[in-house]
């Protein structure tokens, strides 16, 4: 069947029996391809039938499907003529793992971060109405993504709409790990609505049989919060807002899904179609461990075991161990994650100290202010969060944390280039956005030992601290360089003259190679581990300026607002007699690919940096 799908809408030629065969083939295809390339397996296996039904009922690219997060859009890519792209999935120059308008006209909106789909869909709907156009708009949001505040802002805004807008709630009761919170509980109730409704109808009937008193009881219940109506009409939360609720629908039954979409199309106004799916459906290891197969590297299909892995600790592993140790000794330390307990390494803390572990859902902005509240209440909160997701909390960082000088530690994981997730996930802005906040201290470790030392320093510090470290294996070189962390002080690794490399965090490993290459070519070169990006160690700059002609700053962050600009600013302001070469990321978005390849592309690999330094030095 898959052979018959060459382009968008080809699926319309298949009957339901053929579609069922196709669903099986798609699953086989996805498992086979992702076992080689890695990718988001479990979520994609869960939406095979849902995607097929949408492609059967709607016509692309006229109709617009907006995928929340977009990590589950693989079947959509397959059905829109991108089968060949799967060999290069998430590789440099290859197909993205997320929807991209630049990749296909069938991708209506670029995503990667969660909870945006209803807002974007509503925007499309209003544009359609204003321009007098005629097409369907379907936003597909998962139950995990429905924990994000933006989704509610959008539902609130969509409720009074008079025109058709279809919101699909893909409910597999999982975020990356188990979903959390009140809405998740509510959805669990809706999931069993059939049984529940039947039961309540029975209760109502029985009450009616009681002469006089029965009717009174029903009336009473009607007035209370748990009214009969609430019990017999599933989806009341949505209905009461003015959003038509349809469902729950079995998400692996193609016929039923198609019927439900046909119904949804007829509704005048916003309609929420509640679809129940199973994460990892059709691949036993993923069904058993959906969190492990949410995003996976290459694996052996027969066992589900990972193919690669050096066995070395990642920076996340180091953070995980140290924060547990800190939490064991200091009972005022509490940790927060925004639905990334596994990814940030906080799952271990949860096991040992569940009362001081908080998963706030995919709600980074709330997570920041919640941390501020914890700090104001006397706790020492550590919010472990990916760099790109923390972008969501910028105002909260300023307004709720830094303005009040509250001691919140931001353990910023996935800082720098993250690789195959691409533009939306590269953690390349945090030095700029954190550095621009008054009262914020910004630091980054050169190796695993320094991450441990800095984390202890940060937790003991009386003010907000941003501690950033990257995805991947922790560098374990230079263990002997472990001078105590002192506020605002950098660390001299090699002291010479002429050229001084001042490096931020994990780029240290690359800078060591650069210095070696420079030495081999006959240059003198000092190497300074910046440690603090804010405040910059200006005393050190003054000292270095006495016998160096060139400062080279190295950081995996955009140049704009980064460490290099801070150093350059100080040098200009004080008229220090040195040139500054800032090696950083360009003012651009960086696509997917391995970190190694991407660094070469942006000239932040050791060889390219060495060349740039020599070129600049020779010009002096
Ligand atoms: C703002 C933001 N925070 C965190 C993430 C990481 N993340 C990606 S998918 C996901 C879970 C989404 O759950 P759900 O929407 O239910 O989709 P499912 O994987 O269950 O299909 C999370 C937390 C993200 N993409 N964006
Ligand atoms: C889709 C999404 O946002 C996450 O699944 C992300 O891909 C996780 O990245 P890591 O693999 O770095 O944990
Ligand atoms: Mg889910």
| pLDDT over 60 (residue 67) | yes
Rounded-to-10 torsion of CA 172, 176, 182, 186: 0
Q: Which ligand is nearest to the CA of 177?
A: 1
Q: One of 56, 191, 279, 380 is an active-site residue; which one?
A: 279
> Which ligand lies nearest the alpha carbon of 114?
1
Rounded-to-integer distance, Cα 566 and Cα 561, Å: 7
Over residues 386-400, the mean pLDDT reads 98
Q: What is the pLDDT of residues 156-205, one digit of tens each?
A: 999 999 999 999 999 999 999 999 999 999 898 888 765 333 344 444 55
Q: Which of 39, 111, 114, 342 to mutate to test the pocket of ligand 1 (most atoms within 8 A of CB)?
A: 114
Q: Which atom of ligand 2 is nearest to the CA of 386?
A: 12
Q: Ligand 2: which atom is nearest the Cα of residue 40? A: 5
Cβ(280) to ligand 2 under 6 A? Answer: no
Q: In the CATH hierarchy, which fold is given to the domain comprising 2-288? A: Rossmann fold (3.40.50)
Write down the pLDDT at residue 214: 61
**In 189-301, beta strands by DSSP E:** 244-250, 270-276
pTM: 0.94
Alpha-carbon distance values, 122 to 63, 64, 127, 238 (Å): 14, 11, 9, 16
113 labelled binding-site residue:
yes
Phi, psi of 411 (to 5 degrees): -90, 100
Calculate mean pLDDT across residues 53-81.
Answer: 98
Q: Is the CB of 421 under 6 A from ligand 2?
A: yes
Angstrom distance (rounded) from CA 296 to CA 74: 14
Index of the ligand 1 atom closest to the CA of residue 145: 15
Is residue 236 very low, low, confident or very high in pLDDT (cuts 50, 70, 90)?
Answer: confident
The 10s digit of each residue's pLDDT in 94-105 is 999 999 999 999
Mode of pairing for the β-strands spanning 548-558 and 579-585: parallel
Q: Is 231 a residue whose pLDDT tops 50?
A: no
At residue 219, does pLDDT exceed 70? no
Ligand 2 atom, smallest distance to 342 CA: 13
Q: What is the ipTM of this complex?
A: 0.99
56 lines ligand 2 (CB under 6 A): no
Which protein residue has the closest C-alpha to ligand 2 atom 1? Answer: 71
Ligand 1 atom nearest to CA at 69: 25
The rounded mean pLDDT for the chain is 94
Residue 367 has pLDDT above 80, yes or no: yes
The span from the CA of 348 to the CA of 601, in Å, is 37
Active site (annotated) includes residue 364? yes
pLDDT tens digit sequence for 539-557: 999 999 999 999 999 999 9
Q: Are 499 and 552 in contact (CB under 8 A)?
A: yes
Residue 112 marked as a ligand binder: yes
Side by side, the strands of the sheet bearing 491-494 are: 491-494, 525-529, 498-503, 548-558, 579-585
Residue range(s) in the chain whose domain bears CATH number 3.40.50.970: 2-288, 315-468
Q: Are strands 525-529 and 498-503 parallel, antiparallel or unpaired?
A: parallel
Point out the ligand nearest to the CA of residue 46.
1
Ligand 3 centroid, distance to 178 Cα (angstroms): 9
Q: Which atom of ligand 1 is nearest to the CA of 148?
A: 1
Q: Give the rounded percent of residues in the chain with a pLDDT score beyond 90.
A: 90
Query: How many A from CA of 177 to the centre of ligand 3?
Result: 9
Q: Is 144 in the pocket of ligand 1 (CB under 6 A)?
A: yes
143 is known to lie in a ligand binding site: yes
Ligand 2 site-directed mutation target among 295, 337, 420, most atoms within 8 Å of CB = 295
Average pLDDT over residues 45-70: 98
Q: Compute the average pLDDT of residues 374-402.
A: 98
* Higher local confidence (pLDDT), 245 or 209: 245
* Cβ atoms of 545 and 502 closer than 8 Å: no
Check the annotation: does 144 bind a ligand.
Answer: yes
Pocket mutation for ligand 1, best pick of 362, 365, 393 (most atoms within 8 Å of C-beta): 362
CB atoms closer than 10 angstroms to residue 335 = 28
Local structure of 184: helix, strand or coil: helix
How far is the first Cα of the chain from the last one, in angstroms, to the nearest whole number?
66
| Rg, C-alpha atoms of the chain | 27
* C-beta of 471 in contact with ligand 2 (< 6 A): yes
Cβ 147 under 6 angstroms from ligand 1: no
Q: Using one digit for the tens of pLDDT, what is the confidence trace for 123-167?
A: 999 999 999 999 999 999 999 999 999 999 999 999 999 999 999
Q: What is the structure's pLDDT at 44?
A: 98
Q: According to the CATH classification, is domain 492-619 in 3.40.50.920?
A: yes
Angle 448-460/315-329 helices, nearest 10 degrees? Answer: 40
**For range 463-480, the mean pLDDT:** 97
The confidence band for 208, taking pLDDT boundaries of 50, 70 and 90, is low
- The verdict on whether 392 is a catalytic residue reads yes
DSSP H helical segments within 468-619, as ranges?
A: 508-520, 538-544, 563-573, 595-601, 606-619
- Kindly state the average pLDDT of the residues 284-309: 95
Identify the active-site residue in 348, 364, 491, 556.
364
Architecture, CATH, for domain 315-468: 3-Layer(aba) Sandwich (3.40)
Cβ(143) to ligand 1 under 6 A?
A: yes
Q: How far is CA 64 from CA 122, 124, 134, in A?
A: 11, 8, 11
Does the annotation place 35 within a ligand binding site? no
**Is the Cβ atom of 113 under 6 angstroms away from ligand 2?**
no
113 in ligand 1 pocket by Cβ < 6 Å?
A: yes
Rounded CA gap, 24 and 19, in Å? 9
Q: For 498-538, how does the pLDDT look when each residue is reduced to its tens digit (9 = 90+)? A: 999 999 999 999 999 999 999 999 999 999 999 999 999 99
Return the pLDDT at 197: 39
- Centre of ligand 2 from the C-alpha of residue 346, in Å: 15
How is 446-476 classified by DSSP, letter by letter?
SSHHHHHHHHHHHHHSSS-EEEE--SSBPP-
CB 286 within 8 A of CB 41: yes
């Amino acid at each position: 069947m898959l052979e018959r799908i060459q382009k968008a809408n080809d699926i319309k030629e298949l009957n339901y029996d053929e579609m069922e065969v196709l669903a099986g083939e798609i699953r086989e295809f996805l498992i086979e391809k992702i076992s080689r390339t890695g990718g988001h397996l479990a979520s994609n296996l869960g939406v095979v039938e849902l995607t097929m039904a949408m492609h059967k009922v709607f016509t692309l690219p006229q109709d617009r499907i907006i995928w929340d997060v977009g990590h589950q859009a693989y079947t959509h890519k397959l059905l829109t003529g991108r089968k060949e792209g799967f060999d290069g999935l998430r590789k440099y120059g290859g197909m993205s793992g997320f929807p991209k308008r630049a990749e296909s006209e069938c991708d209506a909106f670029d995503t990667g971060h969660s909870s945006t789909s209803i807002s974007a869909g509503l925007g499309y709907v209003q544009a359609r109405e204003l321009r007098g156009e005629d097409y369907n708009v379907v936003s597909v949001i998962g139950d995990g993504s429905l924990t994000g505040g933006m989704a509610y802002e959008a539902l609130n805004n969509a409720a009074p709409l008079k025109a058709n807008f279809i919101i699909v709630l893909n409910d597999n009761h999982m975020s990356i790990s188990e979903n959390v919170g009140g809405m998740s509980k509510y959805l669990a109730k809706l999931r069993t609505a059939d049984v529940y409704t039947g039961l309540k109808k029975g209760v109502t009937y029985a009450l009616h049989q009681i002469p006089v008193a029965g009717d009174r009881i029903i009336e009473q219940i009607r007035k209370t919060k748990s009214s009969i109506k609430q019990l017999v009409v599933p989806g009341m939360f949505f209905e009461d807002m003015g959003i038509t609720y349809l469902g729950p629908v079995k998400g692996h039954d193609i016929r039923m899904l198609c019927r439900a979409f046909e119904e949804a199309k007829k509704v005048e106004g916003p309609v929420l179609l509640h679809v129940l799916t199973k994460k990892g459906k059709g691949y036993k290891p993923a069904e058993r461990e959906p969190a492990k197969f949410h995003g996976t590297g290459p694996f052996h299909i027969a066992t589900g075991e990972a193919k690669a892995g050096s066995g070395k600790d990642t920076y996340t592993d180091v953070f995980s161990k140290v924060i547990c140790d800190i939490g064991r000794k200091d009972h005022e330390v509490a940790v927060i994650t925004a639905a990334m307990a596994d990814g940030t390494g906080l799952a271990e803390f949860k096991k040992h100290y569940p009362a001081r572990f908080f998963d706030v859902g995919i709600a980074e902005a709330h997570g920041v202010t919640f941390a501020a509240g914890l700090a104001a209440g006397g706790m020492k909160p550590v919010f472990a969060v990916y760099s790109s997701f923390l972008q969501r909390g910028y105002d909260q960082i300023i307004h709720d944390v830094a303005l009040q000088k509250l001691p919140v530690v931001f353990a910023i994981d996935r800082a720098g280039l993250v690789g195959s997730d691409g533009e939306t996930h590269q953690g390349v802005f945090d030095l700029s956005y954190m550095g621009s906040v008054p009262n914020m201290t910004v630091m980054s470790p050169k190796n695993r030992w320094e991450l441990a030392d800095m984390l202890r320093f940060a937790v003991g510090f009386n003010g907000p601290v941003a501690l950033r470290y990257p995805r991947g294996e922790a560098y374990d070189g230079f263990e002997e360089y472990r001078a105590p962390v002192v506020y605002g002080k950098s660390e001299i690794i090699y002291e010479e003259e002429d050229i001084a490399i001042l490096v931020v965090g994990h780029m240290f490993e690359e800078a060591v190679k650069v210095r070696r290459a420079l030495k081999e070519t006959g240059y003198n070169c000092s190497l300074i581990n910046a440690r603090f990006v804010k405040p910059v160690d200006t005393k050190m700059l003054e000292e270095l300026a006495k016998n160096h002609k060139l400062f080279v700053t190295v950081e995996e962050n955009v140049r704009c607002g980064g460490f290099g600009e801070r150093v350059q600013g100080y040098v200009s302001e004080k008229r220090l007699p040195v040139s500054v070469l800032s090696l950083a990321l360009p003012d651009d978005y960086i696509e997917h690919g391995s970190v190694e390849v991407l660094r070469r592309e942006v000239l932040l690999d050791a060889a390219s940096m060495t060349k740039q330094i020599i070129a600049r030095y020779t010009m002096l």
